[in-house]
Amino acid sequence: MIDPDIFLNFLKQRRSIRKYQDTIIPDEAINMILDKISKIAIYGRFIKKAPLLIAIIGKIKQNPNWYVQDTSLVSMNMMLMAWSLGIGTCWIGSMDRDKVKEFLGLGKDDFILTVLPFGYIEGNIPKPTLRKELKIIIRTIE
């Protein structure tokens, strides 16, 4: 197990990276990020410069109640593993999913959650975004 304080600090340090070096990510690092690779595609402006793109695909019929949750968890775990290796990523939420599905040759049963860009960080790591204090966003029910 990892120390919770170290992990919390690690989570707070992760940033969305939108500029990537033109450096190939070694197979060993890719294998550590990926348990299984589903599909690869190119989409969006800044992600075209990323050396690796991974489309996260859920099978609706195989897992009709949990495909969104499962693919979301896989995506976050991949992003955290990449960050631990010094590899930047950025969640891509805004896209024309129908066009991406068509480009990748996916079927009606396939759900495209996101396309994640991966690359070594170019320039400085972005400063953290301003977060609301927990006491503002949390409500305790007694």
Which CATH number is correct for 4-122, 3.30.450.20, 3.40.109.10, 3.30.360.10, 3.50.50.60?
3.40.109.10
pLDDT at 15 over 90: no
Q: Tokens at residue 55, please?
A: 């489309």
Domain boundaries, the chain: 4-122
Residues 113-131: b if buried by 16+ CB within 10 A, e if exposed: bbbbbbbbbeeeeeeeeee
Is residue 78 within 8 Å of 34, Cβ to Cβ?
yes
pLDDT digits 0-9 by tens, 60-105: 999 899 999 999 989 998 999 899 888 999 998 888 888 888 888 8
Least confident of 36-45, 66-75, 121-130: 36-45
pLDDT for 129: 84
